[in-house]
Every structure is written in C-alpha cells, then in structure tokens.
Amino acid sequence: MFYPRNSPVSVVITDQRLTIKYVNTGFEKATGYLSGDVHGKHLSILVFNPEHRDMMTRAVEHSLLGEPWQGQVKYQTKDGDTRVVDVVTSAIFNSGDQVTNFVAVSRDITYELELQSQLVNAQKLKALGRLSESIAHDFGNPLIGIRALLKDFDQRLELNQQDTHLLEIAVSECNRMQTLIGNFQHFYNSKRTFSTPCDINEVLNRLVFFMQKTLLTNNITTVIDHTPNLPPTKGRVDQLEQVFLNIILNAVDAMADQGGTLTIATYSEKDSICAAISDTGQGMDEQTMRQIFEPFYSTKPEVDGTGLGLSVSYGIISAHNGTITCRSTVSEGTTFKVFLPVEAHTV
C-alpha cells in the first residue's frame, strides 16, 4: 500500500478491526505521539474525551456504508496544547466488497478558527462604531435632560416615601443608560479628550462617592485601601473613569443577590501603578473568564448586560499602554487589576 509519509496532514490507517496499522509523520507532529506509541493499538486509544467515542462510532458507520464522514475534533496534544482538526474518514474495500482498512485524514484548523473569530470580532466592532455614533448623540442628549428634570422634581416636590423611591429608581436607570452610552462613545471616538496627569486615588474616590447610593442599596460594604501619594499616571480621565465604573458595576452585579464587600486598593509596582478592585460575589468559571473581554460577551439577562463594559475597558487601558488582568474563583469572588504606567513612562 502507498503511505502518504511526508504529508502536512495527519493520516491514520487501521485494519478492519480498527487496530492502528500506520500513522504518518504529520500525525506524530500534530499530536506529539510517535508511531511506536500507537501502532498495533485499538483506535479507541485516540479517543481523547467521551464525545469522541460517539463521533468514532458515527465515522465507522458512515464509512462502512461507503460514505466518507467529516467532522471537527478538538483534542489535546501530548504537551497539553488544545488543537482542532478537520477529519475525513473513509473505508477501503477489497474487490469482494469487504472492508480491509479505515483511513482518517485530518488537517489542523486551529489557526484558521482563531483568525475567523478575530475577523468576526473586528467586523462586529466596525459595525458597532457606526451605530454607536448615532446612538451616543441621539440618546445621550435627551437622557441628560430627563435626568436633570428628575433631579429637579426630587428637590422641589414634597414626595411621599414610595414616590421618592420610584424617583430614585428612575435616576439610577438613567445612570445605567448613561454608562452604556459612554461605552458606545468610546468605541467610535477614543481621542475625544486630552491626556493629562491624573491621580488614580482621586479618580476612584470620586467614583465611589457617586456610586454610594447604589452600593448601599445593594448591601455592599466598601473598603478603600489606597496607598497615599502615588505617582501620577497620564491619561484621559473620563476614559479611566469609564473603566473603573464598568469594573465596579460588574462587581455590584456579581454581589447583587446577597451583598458583600467591595475592596478598592491602589499601590505602585515597578514603573506602574495598580488599582485592584475585588468583590466577594459569585465569581466566574474558566470558560467565562476566557471570554469576558470579547465584545458582546455577557452572561447577564439581555436587559442588564450588553457585554461591552470589559471590551471597552480593555481597549481603553491598552491605549493607555497599560494592562488589565482578572482572577476569579466561583462562589468566592473576583479581582480585576488595572496597571497603568507612571507619567514619565507614558508616551
């Protein structure tokens, strides 16, 4: 039989009982397993997780009918890397129409899939850029008017307790919308304001002051642990405010069910200053953590989450030559850290 020895695709050939008779160097390179590791073993040794078992059965069934089977399979290499391959399997029949071998040919498509998802993200961002410009203008201005009116009612009218409460809800909903519009604005126009030296403690204190009511109504205790006299960073204050607002609002959402503690610490580390914002909320599993910075990724019900907060924050912090990191444990809580270069080191 002819063996496709140096092919860039990986090839596995078995006999009719699914005993592995041949793997090419492409297979060895792709999986990290050598021919000697698998030769003479049953094909099920390549079943890397339970769902593959079903796939293999289907592949064999199809092949026996003389129809090739095609599918995408995710597997782990010997080194623990996760890869995705596009597999085609087929059976080889002898002149008496009996199956003599099965052949599986697979091509690594991990990189293609990554590119595809980056492209989809880029397209989403572009479309959003156009849309957001009009939303920011057409919704933002009336909203400022509505909020001013509500505040005016609050000050001028003698309202009973229930109506005061309703008015508070209306104002806080306006604030939520304003945050959202802020996120939209930062998508289409990141250079709206000037970069100035700024004191991160001051930015955070101002935010916490504005959010006092929201924090209290959600039974959240706030602990401020600032290092005094931090060196200034250089940045666009409104954008940095938006980042911390997004992170704190997420922390509030994560603790909304049973309250908790919000800790805001600042410190300097090498040439950076860091703001660490921790909550004692529901936390995240690994799968969620991997996606939180993607535009439109949200685990919240549609009315509450747009999935823009963290992707906008990521963009803003990158534009400030900083980094943003996240650590989280399910049921225990989450810490976001924002690192920004001290002023002398920013461009």
Ligand X SMILES: Nc1ncnc2c1ncn2[C@@H]1O[C@H](COP(=O)(O)OP(=O)(O)O)[C@@H](O)[C@H]1O
By CB under 6 A, name the binding residues for ligand X.
246, 250-251, 254, 279, 281-284, 288, 292, 297-300, 305-311, 334
181 binds, among Mg ion, ligand X, none (CB under 5 to 8 A by kind): none
**Phi and psi at residue 60, to the nearest 5°:** -65, -45
DSSP string, 158-171: ---HHHHHHHHHHH
Residue type, 175: N
State the nearest-atom distance from the C-beta of 70 to Mg ion, in Å.
40
Q: Are strands 260-269 and 220-225 parallel, antiparallel or unpaired?
A: parallel
Please tell me the distance from the alpha carbon of residue 103 to that of residue 208, in angstroms, as a whole number.
63
* 101/282 with CB nearer ligand X: 282
CB of 121 to ligand X, least distance (A): 13
- Measured from each CB, the residue nearest to ligand X is 309
Contact window for Mg ion (CB under 5 A) among 27-35, 97-105, 228-236, 242-250: 242-250
CA-wise closest residue to 17 among 50, 52, 64: 64
Rounded (10°) CA dihedral 287, 289, 290, 293: 140
The helix (H) or strand (E) run that includes residue 314 is helix 309-319
Contact between 233 and Mg ion by CB under 5 A: the answer reads: no
Of the two residues 299 and 321, which places its CB atom closer to Mg ion in the complex?
Answer: 299
CB 25, min distance to ligand X, A? 43
Cβ atoms within 10 A of the Cβ of 60, count?
A: 18
How many CB atoms neighbour CB 240 within 10 A? 24
Using rule CB under 5 A, residue 250 touches Mg ion: yes
The nearer residue to ligand X, 49 or 219, going by C-beta atoms, is: 219
> For the window 290-319, what string marks contact with Mg ion as x by the rule CB under 5 A?
-------------------x----------
Can you give the binding site for Mg ion, defined by CB under 5 A?
250, 309
